[in-house]
Chain A
Amino acid sequence: MSILARALAACLLGGLLGVAQAAERPEEIVIGITAFLSGPASVFGEPGQAAAEMIIDNINAQGGIDGVPVRAIYVDEGAGGEHVVSEYRRLVQQEGVSAMLASISSGNCNQIAPVAEDLKMLNIMWDCGTQRIFEEGDYRYVFRTQANATPEMVATVLYLLKTKPDFQTIAVVNQDYAWGRESWKIFSTALKALKPDVQVVAELFPKFGAPDYSTEISRLSALRPDVVLSTSWGGDLDTFVRQSAQRGLTGMSTFVLPLAESSLQRLGKDLPEGVIVGGRGDHYFLHPEFRDDPAFQAFSAEFREKTGAYPIYPVFHMAQALAALQKAYEIALENSEAWPDTEALVDAMEGIEFRGLTRPVRLREDHQGLEDQLLGTTVHSDTHDFAVLDNIMIFPADPITTPVGQISEEWVETLDPAMLEMEVDTYQHGQ
Chain B
Amino acid sequence: MLRALPPVILALLLAVLPLLATWTTVVLTLALAKGLAVLGIVVLLRAGQVSFGHALYFAASGYAAAFLAGSLGGGEVLVLLLAGLATSLLLGLAIGWFVVGYRYIFFAMLNLAFSMVLYSLLEKFFHITGGSDGLRVPRPTLLGMTLERAEFELGLFYLTLGLAVLAAFLVHRYLASPPGQALAALKTNETRLEYLGVSARAVFLGGYLISALLAGLGGTLQALVQGLVTPEMGYWVASGELVFIAILGGAGHVIGAFAGALVYEFVQIYAAAFAADVWQLILGTVLLLIILFASRGLVGMYQDLWRRGEGKEAAP
Contact = CB atoms under 8 A, between A and B. Distances in A.
Contacts of A76: 276
B132 A208 contact: yes
A306 interface: no
B92 to A, nearest CB: 24
A89 B228 CA distance: 13
Interface in A1-60: 37-38
Contacts of A108: 133
Interface in A79-103: 79-83, 85-87, 89-90, 93-94
Contacts of A85: 226-228
A85 B223 CA distance: 12
Interface string A170-196: 000000111001000000000000000
A81 B22 CA distance: 23
Contacts of B123: 176, 207
B149 A118 contact: yes
Interface in A248-275: none
Nearest to B235: A80
A94 to B, nearest CB: 5
Contacts of A207: 123, 132
A176 B126 contact: yes
A93 B226 CA distance: 15
Given A76-B276, A90-B273, A118-B149, A176 B132 contact: yes
B23 A94 contact: yes
Contacts of B127: 181
Given A85-B227, A115-B227, A177 B133 contact: yes
Contacts of A80: 230, 232
A205 B227 contact: no
B230 A81 contact: yes
Contacts of B133: 81, 105-108, 110-111, 177-178
A205 B269 contact: no
B300 interface: no
A118 B227 CA distance: 11
Contacts of B22: 93
Contacts of B170: none
A69 interface: no
Contacts of A90: 23, 269, 273
A395 to B, nearest CB: 28
Interface string A54-68: 000000000000000
B124 interface: yes
Nearest to B222: A82
Interface in B78-135: 123-124, 126-127, 130-134
A177 B273 contact: no
Nearest to A80: B232
Contact of B230 (A82, A89, A94): A82
B272 A81 contact: no
A119 interface: yes
A178 B129 CA distance: 11
B132 A79 contact: no
B2 to A, nearest CB: 37
29 contacts: A37-B276, A38-B276, A76-B276, A80-B230, A81-B133, A81-B134, A81-B230, A83-B272, A85-B226, A86-B30, A86-B226, A86-B269, A89-B26, A90-B273, A107-B131, A108-B133, A110-B133, A110-B136, A111-B136, A111-B228, A114-B227, A118-B139, A119-B149, A178-B131, A178-B133, A181-B131, A205-B126, A207-B123, A208-B132
Interface of A: 37-38, 76, 79-83, 85-87, 89-90, 93-94, 105-108, 110-111, 114-115, 118-119, 176-178, 181, 205, 207-208
Q: List 6 A-B pairs, minimum CB-CB distance, nearest first.
A: A107-B133, A177-B132, A178-B133, A94-B23, A118-B149, A81-B230
